[in-house]
Amino acid sequence: MSLLVVENLRVTYFRDGVPLPALRGVTFSLSAGESLGLAGESGSGKSTLAVAPLRLLPDNARLSADRLVFDGRDLMAASPRDLRALRGGAVGTVFQDPFSSLNPVLTVGDQIEEVLEFHAGGRDRGRVLALLERVRLSEPAALYGAYPHQLSGGQRQRVCLAMAIAARPKLLIADEPTTALDVTAQRGILDLLDELRRDLKMALLLVTHNVGLLVERTDRLAVLYAGEIVELGPTREVLTNPAHPYTQGLLRSLPRLSRVEPRLPALPGQPPDPRRLPSGCAFRERCAQAFARCAVDPVLRPVTGRPVAVACHLHGGAA
C-alpha cells in the first residue's frame, strides 16, 4: 500500500492578485520505506512540493488536489490540529538552510526536546542525548546546552535531522538538505540520511537541484519542470537513459571528470515565466525536437517496454 498518494496536486501563489502557478498537477506515490528523489532547477516548484503534502504554505498560496492521502488519512480533509500532529510526528522535515532554521535564542537540547514534548510523549533529556548520538554528533552532553551559533553548518544540519526523526516518522522530507553546506559536510549528511532511512525504515522524499547527489541514494527519481513532473522512473534508469529532452539536456550539462570539455553544453533559453507559460508542453520553447503536437499538453505516461514514465509526445505513439 502506498504511504503517500499525491494526485493532480496544484499550488498557486498569488502576488498582488496575479496567480503564479508553482505546481501544475503533480501526481506520484511513495511506498513505505521507499525513497524518491525530486530534481529540478530553481523555480521548478520543488521546494513547494516538499512542503505542500503537509499543507505548510504561506497565506498567499492556494492548494488543490484530487487526492492527497498520507498513511490512509485524507490530508485535504484534515483539520489544522491533525496536520499539526503529522508535522514533526509521522512526517519529519529537514529544511534547506541549517543556519537559519534553528532558533538562535534557544539551546539545541531545548529545541529537540520540544519535538519530543509535542509528538513523543514528553520531554526527556536522555532521549535527546540518544538522538544527538544517533545523528553521529560527538559529545552530546556538551551539545545539549549549546546554542546554534556555536555549531558548524554540518553539526546544525545533524541537529535538524535529530529534530526531524525525534518522533520516528514514517516519512522524512528533506528539502535540499545539503545546499548550504560545503562538499565534505554534504557527503556526511547524505550518508547519514541513507543510514537513518534504512535503520528507521522511513520513506524519504529528497529534493535537490543536484542530480548527481541522487545516484545510488534514491530508489526512484522524478524530474520536475515548471511545476510538472516530466519524467519519473528508477533513478539508475532515468540517469543512464533519459527519455525526456529536458532530462537529457540537464544530464548533458553536468560536468564530468572523464570528459574534458572547453565549455559545458547548457540548455538554451530560460525556464518559463510562471505568469506566461506556453500552451501545451512547458518545455517546447527550449526543446530542439519540438514539433506540432507539442502545442497539446503532454501527459505523464509509461514508455512502452521501460519502467519509466515521461510527459513528452516523442514517446508513446498516438495520443
For other proteins, the closer of residues 12 and 93 by Cβ is 93
CB of 49 to other proteins, least distance (A): 14
> Is-contact 29 219, C-beta < 8 A?
no
Quick note: the x/- pattern for other proteins over 113-152, rule CB under 8 A, is -xx--xx---------------------------------
| Contact pick of 64, 103, 150, 270 for other proteins (by CB under 8 A) | 103
| Contact pick of 20, 32, 56, 129 for other proteins (by CB under 8 A) | 56
In the chain, the N- to C-terminal Cα span, in Å, equals 30
Residue type, 53: P
Distances (CA, A) of 113 to 105, 144, 168: 15, 10, 14
Residue 222 phi, psi dihedral angles, 5° rounding:
-115, 130
Q: What residues numbered 160-219 form the site for other proteins, per CB under 8 A? A: 160, 163-164
Distances (CA, A) of 300 to 48, 75, 229, 232, 282: 20, 24, 7, 8, 13
Q: How far is CA 54 from the centre of its chain?
A: 13
> Is-contact 175 50, C-beta < 8 A?
yes
Task: Tell me, by CB under 8 A, how many residues bind other proteins.
Answer: 28
- Determine the interface stretch with other proteins among 29-37, 103-111, 132-140, 199-207 (rule: CB under 8 A): 103-111
CB of 276 to other proteins, least distance (A): 27
Rounded-to-integer distance, Cα 113 and Cα 107, Å: 10
Rounded-to-integer distance, Cα 45 and Cα 39, Å: 10
CB of 303 to other proteins, least distance (A): 36
CB of 96 to other proteins, least distance (A): 8
> Is-contact 227 26, C-beta < 8 A?
yes
- Determine the interface stretch with other proteins among 6-14, 49-57, 206-214, 245-253 (rule: CB under 8 A): 49-57
- Determine the interface stretch with other proteins among 85-93, 205-213, 274-282, 289-297 (rule: CB under 8 A): 85-93
For other proteins, the closer of residues 114 and 297 by Cβ is 114
Residues that bind other proteins (CB under 8 A): 51, 54, 56, 58-59, 84-89, 93, 95, 97, 100-106, 114-115, 118-119, 160, 163-164
